Amino acid sequence: MKWLWFAYQNVLRHRRRSLMTVLIIAVGTAAVLLSNGFALYTYNKLQERYALEFGHVMISHRDYFDKEAETPMGYGLSDYRDIEQRIEPDDRIRMALPRLQFSGLISNGDKSVIFLGTGVDPEGEFEIEGTLTNVLEGNTLTARPALDATPEVMLAKGLAKQLHAEIGGLLTLLTTTAEGALNAMDVQVRGIFSSGAPEMDKRMLAVALPTAQELIMTDKVSTLSVYLHELDQTDGMQAVLAEQYPNLATQPWWEQAFFYFKVRALYNIIFGVMGVIILLIVFFTITNTLSMTIVERTRETGTLLALGTLPRQIMRNFVLEAFLVGLAGALLGMLIASAVSITFSIIEIQMPPPPGRTETYPLYIHLSVWLYSVTTLLVVLLSIGAALLTSRKAARKPIVEALAHV
């Protein structure tokens, strides 16, 4: 403890220099925490978005994800209602939603456009705050329509624009049935939504699952999307479902989230390189400060050696000084990063839409205990490393030469 107190007193001997070093370390630490905190926030939001879009775990026919069916629903899931009833009592499961993917032509009588459609369960689909809940005009699909009601459709805004569709207007869907024949159905526009991706907005539409099954002439669905209460339960639930249904395919959300991995790889490179550069600047700053301090205290070092102080004790003193400076800078950097993160969460700065998207998103910084702990540890270790590097020569200098230093 006395050596730590001695190091503390030495740090205070050059208050201005020590303060400048602490501030540089703090700014570098805050920059690393803020940049990586933004990356972590982006990862978390993308994970949540794709989990909501596809379901945390998807159950399907064993060949659905790997092979191309010759006819629509050739690899469809037929006993999905039974599976749904069996798994929903599990406390980890929020809900299970059947979905039917299909494609074809949609026409307003004058113009026909290719569409990518999804048959959904209106009673549960709009509770999960997914793509279809971003309604721009009209409403979501009716949960329990009358038996004689015209089937409803929700159009993505790009598709609605191409067809000059309006709420309440009639359109015609044309697609191939499960038997390979053609089938058509008149539908009424219920709502217009945005998926956030311009290219998808030109093709997407959604109808109620019974409407899609009637159009395709099937009682099957493409997938059963299982939604969980917690994202980190995905691996465990997939393992449970794979064991319960070995003859079916189970796939976690990330198997469909190709964009997520591209963004993550890009951000890892960008913020990783930036973090290394910042930490190197911190390292050289500490090295420069300690080098000047050691040169100025060469005669003091020689006196201590002459009085019987061991070289390792001299080095230990400089290491403790660097430890205190590095720790102070890291703690101050943590406070700065936390304050900036909280400020951003209050004022809600909007970021421009990412490539391929049309929606802005708030600039938030993720406060991670793990990130803060690792960054602080790295800064302190860099400070100690700089002290070891610069103090070794001073501690081994001959006493006569050290005392004669001018």
Statement to judge: residues 199 and 340 lie in one domain: no
User: Which 3-state string (H, E, C) describes 353-402?
Assistant: CCCCCCCCEECCCCCCHHHHHHHHHHHHHHHHHHHHHHHHHHHCCCHHHH
pTM: 0.80
Domain count, the chain: 2
Phi-psi region of 291 (alpha: psi -120 to 50; beta: other; left: phi over 0): alpha
What pLDDT is stored for residue 98 in this prediction? 93
pLDDT average, residue stretch 152-175: 93
What pLDDT is stored for residue 58 in this prediction? 93
- Three-state secondary structure call for residue 198: helix
Statement to judge: residues 79 and 142 lie in one domain: yes
Statement to judge: residues 143 and 194 lie in one domain: yes
Q: Tens digits of per-residue pLDDT, 61-101?
A: 888 888 777 777 888 888 889 998 899 888 899 999 999 99
- The answer to whether position 253 is within a domain reads no
- The answer to whether position 390 is within a domain reads yes
User: What is d(CA 350, CA 331) in angstroms, rounded to the nearest whole number?
Assistant: 29
What pLDDT is stored for residue 394 in this prediction? 64
Alpha carbons within 13 angstroms on the beta-carbon side of residue 107 total 13
pLDDT at 133 over 70: yes
Statement to judge: residues 372 and 266 lie in one domain: yes
What pLDDT is stored for residue 349 in this prediction? 81
For residues 279 and 329, is the Cβ–Cβ distance under 8 A? no
Q: Tens digits of per-residue pLDDT, 282-323?
A: 888 888 877 777 766 666 666 666 766 666 777 777 788 788
Q: Tens digits of per-residue pLDDT, 8-19?
A: 666 667 778 778
Statement to judge: residues 242 and 288 lie in one domain: no
- The answer to whether position 157 is within a domain reads yes
- The answer to whether position 114 is within a domain reads yes
pLDDT average, residue stretch 185-204: 89
218, 246, 274: which is the final residue of a domain? 246
Statement to judge: residues 36 and 165 lie in one domain: no
What pLDDT is stored for residue 307 in this prediction? 65
- The answer to whether position 93 is within a domain reads yes
Statement to judge: residues 97 and 7 lie in one domain: no
Higher per-residue pLDDT: 205 or 294: 205
Statement to judge: residues 340 and 379 lie in one domain: yes
What pLDDT is stored for residue 260 in this prediction? 85
In sign, the C-alpha dihedral spanning 205, 207, 211, 213 is positive
- Quick one: pLDDT band at residue 169, thresholds 50, 70, 90? very high
pLDDT at 218 over 60: yes
pLDDT at 391 over 80: no
What pLDDT is stored for residue 109 in this prediction? 86
In percent, the amount of the chain with pLDDT more than 90 equals 38
Statement to judge: residues 191 and 125 lie in one domain: yes
Statement to judge: residues 110 and 210 lie in one domain: yes
| Structural domain that includes position 79 | 63-246
Statement to judge: residues 43 and 152 lie in one domain: no
- The answer to whether position 26 is within a domain reads yes
